[in-house]
Amino acid sequence: MGLKKLNPVTAGQRHAVVPDYKEITKDEPEKTLVVPLKKHAGRNSQGRVTVRHRGGGHKRLYRVVDFGRDKWGIPARVVAVEYDPNRSGWIALLHYADGEKRYILAPVELRVGETVEAGDKAEPKPGNALPLRAIPAGTLIHNLELSPGSKGKVARAAGTAAQLLAKEEDRAVVRMPSGELRVFRLDCLATIGQVSNPDHKNVRHGKAGRVRHLGWRPGVRGVAMAADDHPHGGGEGRTGEGRPPKTPWGKLARGVPTRGKKPTDKVILKRRK
C-alpha cells in the first residue's frame, strides 16, 4: 500500500496525504455479507452521551468479518481485496471450496488468487489460521484469540502484528503490538502475517470535512469555556489551566492509575511501560 499527496488545488488539499488504494480490487461489497449499521452518536442505551464529540458521519454498511476462522481443513480462494469503512485495514473476500463466502482481515502479503486455509495442519503462511502450538516461534501473527474459541481480539488494526516469542508446556509468550509480553494458551487461534494497510498511521486528512465524514464532531478546549462549564474555564483574555489539568467533571486528567487489580494480571509478564 502507498500514499499519495494531493495537488494543492484547494486549501483543504494542500496538506492532505491519503491512501492510493492500489491494493483494492473491488469497489462494491458482497451483498450477502453486509448488514445495516445503526448510528448511536456516542449515546448509550439510556440515550445519554457517554462518548463525546461523535455524531454525523457517512452512512455505512457493516461487513460481517470472520474473526473465528472455524472452517478447518477447507481451502478458500482469495477473490478480492476490499475497503472496509468500519476498520483501518483492508478485508479479503474468500470463496470456500464448499461454496460459502466469507470476509477475513487481509494480511499485507495476501494477493488475489492465492489459497488460504485454517486448521492445525495448515501451512504457516500469510492468511492461514493456526493454533499457536502449530506456529513456529518468531512468527508475526494477528487476529489472535484471548482464550480458545473466543474469536480473534488481538492485533486487528491496520499495520499491527503480534509476535510469538516462545512456547512451553501448554502456554505461549506473545509480544503484543504495544510491546507488552503476555501469556496465551497454545490452543488459541491466530492468523499468520501483519494486518494490511500499514501506512494508515501516516494519513493526513487535510481538512475538517474529512474528519466529519468519519463521524467526529468538534471538541472545544476547556480554557475556551466559561468557568461554569469546565474547571479550566473563565478568566480575562487567553489563559492556561492555572492548575493541574482536570476533566470536565473535575477529576485529575493525568497521573492517576486507571487500572485496578484484574484477573488478567497473572498472564502479563511485562507491561508496555
Q: Which domains does the chain have, with CATH numbers?
A: 18-201 (2.40.50.140), 226-268 (4.10.950.10)
Residues of the chain scoring pLDDT < 70? 1
* DSSP-derived 3-state class of residue 208: helix
The rounded distance, in Å, linking the Cα atoms of 30 and 103 is 9
Structure confidence by residue, pLDDT tens digits, 46-93: 999 999 999 999 999 999 999 999 999 899 999 999 999 999 999 999
Q: What is the pLDDT of residue 261?
A: 84
* Number of CB atoms found within 10 A of residue 250's CB: 9
Determine the Cα–Cα distance for residues 181 and 176; give it in Å rounded to an integer: 6
Which helix (H) or strand (E) is 78 found in, with range?
strand 76-82
Residue 255, pLDDT score? 77
List Cα–Cα distances, 98 to 69, 75, 128, 174, 256, in angstroms. 15, 9, 17, 34, 54
The neighbour count for residue 205, using CB atoms within 10 Å, is: 17
Given a contact cutoff of 8 angstroms between Cβ atoms, the answer to whether 245 and 232 are in contact is: yes
Distances (CA, A) of 108 to 18, 171, 183, 262, 271: 18, 27, 25, 34, 28
Rounded Cα–Cα distance for residues 147 and 45 (Å): 28
Q: pTM here? A: 0.88
- Taking a C-beta distance cutoff of 8 angstroms, is the pair 159, 193 a contact? no
Interatomic CA distance for residues 136 and 163, integer angstroms: 10
Structure-derived torsion over alpha carbons of residues 112, 176, 152, 26, reported in degrees to the nearest 10: -30
98 contacts: CB under 8 Å, gap ≥ 6: 74
The beta-carbon contacts of 209-213 under 8 Å, at least 24 apart in sequence, are 209/12, 210/12, 210/16, 212/56, 212/57, 213/57, 213/58
* Residues sharing a CB contact under 8 Å with residue 259, sequence separation 6 or more, in sequence order: none
